[in-house]
Amino acid sequence: MFIKQYPKIFLKKKTRLPKLFKQEEKREPTEGTEELQPQQPDDSHNIAIHVKKARGGPTLYEPKKFEEKLVEFLDILKKLPIYRTLREHRTVWKMLKTIPDLTSQLTDEHLKTLSRSVISETWVKGSTVVGNDGFYIILKGSARPQTKAYKDLIDENESTSSFIPQSFQGFVSNEDFKNILAEMHTPSCDPMLRQWSTFGTLEVTAQTESDTKEYSVITEEDCEILKIPAKDYVRLKSENIKLENKEKMKLIHKCPYYEEWPTLSICELVALIKWKKFPPGYVIVESGKIISFVAYINSGYCNIYRNIVGLMKLQPKKVKKNQKLVCMGKLNEKESFGEISVLLQVPFTCTIVTGKEVEMAIIEDKDLFELDPVTKQLMLHTAKPTFGHLKDEDVKNVYLEREQKKEWKNFKDKTIKNSLYYNGIIPGFGKWDHCWTSIPRNLKDTLISY
């Protein structure tokens, strides 16, 4: 009796059954009660709502129409940039992203930076607006250009100034957009600049009479015009160039051959550098050829191969000579190659192939030849041939060692397979069909004993 009662003194784990969810039946209202409706906010004391209803305008809870968004956009632009909030800066940036003349020639990051300094100018009817000091967008009103065509804000290609942004279709409702189309629809020969038309340039131009006339317009009515100052874009470009040159100088200075170079000589190389990317498995230079540039690896790595003539068995008593590539090492990040081959016009003794996507800073041979003699001699003095220490005997030894390892592996695999088959074990069939992530210890000991 004691033995039977003894297990009851221990706490038992309670079994938890899965929870059953009951669908609550919807109560039908009785005849004497009315179904409760969701409460709307009490606006009985909000005078703004009553004024808008009296004037036929939308309430506070309706989505903003395009005209309201434009009014809000103009109010933001009338503020000085330093007094705008983060939300207002973001609103200006989103509006500028809908203008194709800006998005087609400026990156999103540059446009976001420039949107923080744009301003709005008010011009009365008959005023002459000279657009050679910035890029202008007509927000209200119309103007007539003094010339028939304008240049792009950056490039020298001609482009039509009057247009409707395509991305406004997602920004405005369909009804509003049709009204805007009806108001702005003009023949293609009409040179009139209307709402959302652009003129001017972001490049600083000379103050000549021809350039002034080329970028000038005359307002046909009172206009609100957005201006992106050209000096802000020039300052943005110069800052980007400084950051890029700093990155190039840091890359060259970390390469082994250039650690003791003076800063002045490195600056001469920085001015000639261009960025370039290569996909995985791309042959940069083959053995026996002269490379056309000097490269500095910023990211990724390259494999170094040497050619060797090997023997391939065709039949038990016949062999065939075959040229093979033997991997002798790698070129990793912050390493350079090609200096000796370009300056001395010496063919490469190895083949360089990218291991994965590689980003390099390169200097083309035509630019390298234009360097001053002192810099070229300094480069010849510090640089060395890529894997120039390797001899044919070293390549043969590496090739023979790898071939022996390959033959030994094939021999082991064949021997193990025959031994298993002799004992009636065929891996992958019947009860020997296993998916092991690692070999069990007892099987591993058995294979070692064979």
HEC sequence for 61-96: CCCCCHHHHHHHHHHHHHCCHHHCCHHHHHHHHHHH
Helix (H, G, I), strand (E, B) or coil at 310: strand
pLDDT at 362 over 90: yes
Residue 152, burial from CB neighbour count under 10 angstroms (0-12, 13-18, 19+): middle
Q: Of 323 and 363, which is predicted with more confidence?
A: 363
User: How far lies 32's CA from each of 25, 28, 36, 38, 56, in Å?
Assistant: 20, 11, 13, 19, 38
| Residue 124 DSSP code | -
The identity of residue 363, as a single letter, is: I
Helix (H, G, I), strand (E, B) or coil at 215: coil
pLDDT band at 73 (very low <50, low <70, confident <90, very high): confident
Q: Of 128 and 315, which is predicted with more confidence?
A: 128
Segment 251-278 shows an average pLDDT of 91
pLDDT at 246 over 80: yes
Q: Of 22 and 226, which is predicted with more confidence?
A: 226
Q: Of 169 and 83, which is predicted with more confidence?
A: 83
Helix (H, G, I), strand (E, B) or coil at 193: strand
Cβ pair 367, 344 in contact under 8 A: no
Token code pair at residue 353 = 């192939």
Closest CA to 275 of 298, 249, 258, 256: 298
Residue reference for tokens 């070293």: 394
Cβ pair 173, 123 in contact under 8 A: no
- What's the pTM value of the predicted model, to 2 decimals? 0.59
Q: What is the mean pLDDT of the chain?
A: 78
Q: What is the pLDDT of residue 320?
A: 74
